[in-house]
Amino acid sequence: MSSRERSSSLNNIIILVFVLVSILCIKIPIAEATTEVIINTWGGAFLEAFQAVSGDIEKVSGVKVKLTTHPGAAAGLSRLIAQKDNPQVDLFTGIESTAYDGGKAGVFEELNPTLVANMAKVPKELVMPHGVSMWVSLRGIFYRQDMIPFEIKKWEDLWDPRLRGKVATSILLDKGNFLIMAALLAGGNENNIELGFEKMKALKPNLLLFYKTDSESIKFLQAGEAAVAGWGILPNVYKLLGPGSNYRFVIPEKPQFLAPIPVSLVKGRPNKEQSLKVINAILTKEIQEKLASHLGVVPALPGAEPPEKIRDIVPALKNIYKVNWDVVNANFDKWLDRWNREIQVK
């Protein structure tokens, strides 16, 4: 071999080594990089609960998680739809209606037990095509007993003249459920909402404030601006309950409202596999019970226990009303417009 050939061969070897080293230098950090799954949830008690279990989720799933907040399920879904071509979160926690709406809008992936093994353990009533329930949240009335002269026991008590100018409520939380409750009391339902509006007009003397978010519902009571939250979500007041507390939460016997709270997989994100691992971790017994203990909810996973603190609050659940979300979704914008014109004005 000539000196020129030896030189050329040596150069080729050097180039090959350089290329291999360059490839290794590129691949090593990619292989070691940790994919972060972003969970979008409510603020307040819900954010605090997820913060408390984030380490457990990471341990079980092997995936790092980051928490961000939305102001409410409907507003959060609207933001997701606006970002459909470039979503900024991986998992979304909402309510039953937003899981259905998000599926129809094409922003959520379908879920099933072949993707998330622990889904097979969740009762079918708590599984949706585009979401699986993490827990069941109880709905009722919460109030300050030091600010009203009697004990509230039933929905009809909200119309008591002794609550004149003391009640706050919302049509936005749970997308119209308070209006549907009023309709049921008057002999109607979401298919005959006219009776609900008539019942609400009779409540106007007692209505003082209207809240849009979970945090507002409790802040009004904490500040003494209102005495009663007419549509109460137990996790919002859960930490304020207990011996010596002036706060009370009541679940009226009839009609009863429960809210399955699903987590949905956002479509179009690059780390689908990691996100599915996070959902599976959330559906483990230990994490289910920890979330329940922070929020005052009933775990979706059979065998996971609700916190002892709420066991005396929960009545026999025998009059649960199942909302027809197809009817609500088709009519809610009209209801909201009418509510703003007829109910939320003095």
pTM beyond 0.85: the answer is no
Write out pLDDT tens, residues 294-344: 999 999 999 999 898 887 776 656 678 989 988 998 999 999 999 999 999
Q: Which tokens hold the place of 280?
A: 């599976």
Return the percent helix, strand and coil in the chain, to nearest 5.
Answer: 45, 20, 35
- Smallest CA-to-CA distance from 290 within 35, 13, 48, 37 is with 48
Pairing label, strands 64-69, 36-41: parallel
Query: In the beta sheet, which residues pair with residue 233?
Result: 139
**CB within 8 Å of 12: residues ≥ 6 apart:** none
CB of 279 closer than 8 Å to CB of 60: no
Please give the distance of CA 63 from its chain centroid, rounded to a whole number.
Answer: 21
- What are the residue ranges of helices labelled H in the chain? 3-32, 45-61, 73-82, 96-105, 177-185, 194-203, 214-222, 234-237, 272-282, 285-295, 325-342
Which domains, and CATH codes, for the chain? 36-136+259-310 (3.40.190.10), 137-257+316-342 (3.40.190.10)
Tokens of 241: 């309950």
The Cβ of residue 108 has, within 10 Å, a number of other Cβ atoms equal to 27
pLDDT confidence of residue 44: 86
Q: What are the distances in angstroms from CA 5 to CA 18, 197, 310?
A: 20, 94, 85
How, if at all, do strands 36-41 and 91-93 pair?
A: parallel
Do 227 and 143 touch, CB atoms closer than 8 A? Answer: yes
User: pLDDT tens, position by position, for the chain (346 residues)?
Assistant: 544 444 444 444 444 334 333 434 443 333 333 479 999 999 988 999 999 999 999 999 999 999 999 988 989 999 999 999 999 999 999 998 899 999 999 999 999 999 999 999 999 989 999 999 999 988 999 999 999 999 999 999 999 999 999 999 999 998 999 999 999 999 999 999 999 999 999 999 999 999 998 889 999 999 999 999 999 999 888 889 988 999 999 999 899 998 899 999 999 999 999 999 999 999 999 999 999 999 999 999 999 998 988 877 766 566 789 899 889 989 999 999 999 999 998 7
Quick: pLDDT tens for 141-151: 999 999 999 99
Task: Count CB neighbours of 118 within 10 A.
Answer: 18
Q: Is 336 exposed, middle or buried, given 0-12, 13-18 or 19+ CB atoms closer than 10 A? A: middle
